[in-house]
Amino acid sequence: MATQASIAFHTLGCKLNFSETSGISQKFLKAGYQVVDFDAGADIYVINTCSVTDFADRKCRNIVRKAHRFSPSAKVVVMGCYAQLKPEEISNIEGVDLVLGAEAKFNIIEHVGELMSYQGIQEQVLVGDIREANTFESSFSYGQRTRTFLKVQDGCDYKCSFCTIPQARGKSRSDTIENVLQNLNQIAEQGIQEVVLTGVNLGDFGNGTEVIEGLKPKKEALFIDLIKAIDKHSPLHRHRISSIEPNLCTDEVIHFVADSRSFMPHFHMPLQSGCNDILKKMRRRYTRELYASRVTLIKKRMPHACIGVDVIVGFPSETDEQFLETYDFLKALDVDYLHVFTYSERSNTLAADMPEVIPVNTRRKRNEMLRLLSKEKRQAFHDRHIDKEAEVLFELENKHGKMFGYTKNYVKVAVPFDSTLANKRVNIKIKKGNEDLCDALILEEKAYVE
């Protein structure tokens, strides 16, 4: 039944969370709700939380307080990863009316309807056993005409010693290739030019149904099957792989991307440590040697490719020598930027109980060293592209008279703002730049690439 109630959303965390929030907001629109900006004084506020974010509890409390400043009588719903992990903590936050876990969040319209109509005391926490989470709900982000993030996989079967994601999102499960292609057609109909494939463990894409003698089901498809189908059937010209584990970024995947019609020469592979002893304690599924071999093959097949790296500093027992082993490994490795994370303890993880805790100030110093190295690598990557021609997809944002876009291999460029270039694939020449972005010159005679 249609409703005139207004609803606003706030998302903490990763692009996967943003795509899910966006998909849920569209469902509320279709159900007759009015989706409004967060500061518009909504009847209902939905906060989608993240378990990776530091100070998740504090951030959640701040957003709840902000919602009630905008609308003192509003109902507040908290869902997502942190809600699954710490439901009682969240339910005790003043002003929270409903907490929804990993499965319940996809039935949020029903739960919100009950919340708005029920008079009296209602069950506040709807969080089930994460081991029972076995459904997949596809989603993609709306409201960004240039680029969208398409969820194709959820959950993770890995048991990394520092990570709570399997506890928050459950076992690995995926969309079907058929449904992914249907979503890509819908995305193309909206005029969006680029899709970023997202998931918790994207390279583990695949569905299985036949269980034999209690073993894990055989997959009906693999990640390589997905990207082959997309490259062949998608109406879009640009697809990007968001992040993929190095053990799952196989030679076959790399060779396919190199020869692909539409997949961008841009890889983001988490390393976490360049020391094999630390990798073993982290319970990662590869060695530094395997990681280096992946980088070597990517650069051999695609010398212009951009490679990004996730790395964690200050893991328990990481000595100065082991950190320098990581630093030297990354310095010598042909990668182009780093996402550096300072290790922080997560309850109910193996790492949280490990001895030899690294002092916080030591963690911060190591973080700063790698951030400086990342700037050097990004600067060097940009310098190699000076005076090179490239195709850029421009975004509409006007910032101080400039507009921005990304090349296929993830060089961010800036040109004077021109609204006619927004959401167009344009040929440019890259000019001077720094570690953040490069200036570019529009090649007028080749302005619009078809």
What pairing do the DSSP bridges indicate for beta strands 306-313 and 337-342?
A: parallel
117-126, 230-239, 256-265, 273-282: range with lowest mean pLDDT = 117-126
Statement to judge: residues 329 and 364 lie in one domain = yes
CA distance 307 to 333: 10
Containing structural domain, residue 93 = 6-129
Query: In the 8-state DSSP scheme, what is residue 235?
Result: S
Bridge partners of 266, per DSSP, are 306
The confidence score (pLDDT) of residue 47 equals 94
Report whether pLDDT(143) > 70.
no
Statement to judge: residues 252 and 109 lie in one domain = no
The confidence score (pLDDT) of residue 210 equals 47
Statement to judge: residues 356 and 422 lie in one domain = no
Q: For residue 223, what is the domain's CATH number?
A: 3.80.30.20
The confidence score (pLDDT) of residue 449 equals 47
CA distance 150 to 141: 7
Report whether pLDDT(212) > 80.
no
Number of domains in the chain: 3
Statement to judge: residues 103 and 206 lie in one domain = no
Question: Rounded mean pLDDT of 73-78?
Answer: 93
Q: Is residue 312 in some structural domain?
A: yes
Q: Is residue 111 in some structural domain?
A: yes
Query: In the 8-state DSSP scheme, what is residue 448?
Result: S
pLDDT in tens, 33-74: 999 999 888 999 999 998 765 566 778 889 999 999 999 999
Statement to judge: residues 125 and 149 lie in one domain = no
CA distance 25 to 368: 38
Q: Rg of the chain's alpha carbons, rounded to an integer?
A: 23
Statement to judge: residues 113 and 11 lie in one domain = yes
Statement to judge: residues 436 and 321 lie in one domain = no
DSSP 3-state of 88: helix
The confidence score (pLDDT) of residue 402 equals 96
The confidence score (pLDDT) of residue 215 equals 52
Closest CA to 203 of 306, 286, 297, 293: 286
The confidence score (pLDDT) of residue 314 equals 97
Final residue before a domain boundary, out of 129, 162, 195: 129
Statement to judge: residues 110 and 226 lie in one domain = no
pLDDT in tens, 267-301: 999 999 999 999 999 999 999 999 999 999 999 99
Final residue before a domain boundary, out of 79, 107, 129: 129
Final residue before a domain boundary, out of 380, 411, 426: 380
The confidence score (pLDDT) of residue 1 equals 41
CA distance 273 to 278: 7
Q: Is residue 236 in some structural domain?
A: yes
Q: For residue 110, what is the domain's CATH number?
A: 3.40.50.12160
Statement to judge: residues 67 and 163 lie in one domain = no
pLDDT in tens, 388-446: 999 999 998 899 999 999 999 999 999 999 999 999 999 999 998 899 999 999 997 55
The confidence score (pLDDT) of residue 132 equals 80
Q: For residue 421, what is the domain's CATH number?
A: 2.40.50
Q: Percentage helix, strand, coil, to 5, in the chain? A: 40, 20, 40
The confidence score (pLDDT) of residue 433 equals 87
Half-sphere exposure of 85 (CA within 13 A, CB side): 22
> Which H or E run contains 391?
strand 389-394
Q: Is residue 356 in some structural domain?
A: yes
Statement to judge: residues 318 and 240 lie in one domain = yes
Statement to judge: residues 109 and 165 lie in one domain = no
Statement to judge: residues 157 and 52 lie in one domain = no
Scan for tokens 């021609």, then name that residue: 389
Report H helices in 234-386: 251-259, 276-282, 288-301, 320-332, 360-383
The confidence score (pLDDT) of residue 218 equals 62
Q: Is residue 39 in some structural domain?
A: yes
Report whether pLDDT(357) > 90.
yes
Q: Is residue 182 in some structural domain?
A: yes
Q: Is residue 1 in some structural domain?
A: no
Report whether pLDDT(381) > 60.
yes
Q: Is residue 284 in some structural domain?
A: yes
Average pLDDT, the chain: 91
Q: Considering the chain, what percentage of its residues have pLDDT values greater than 90? A: 73
pLDDT in tens, 173-197: 999 999 999 999 999 999 999 999 9
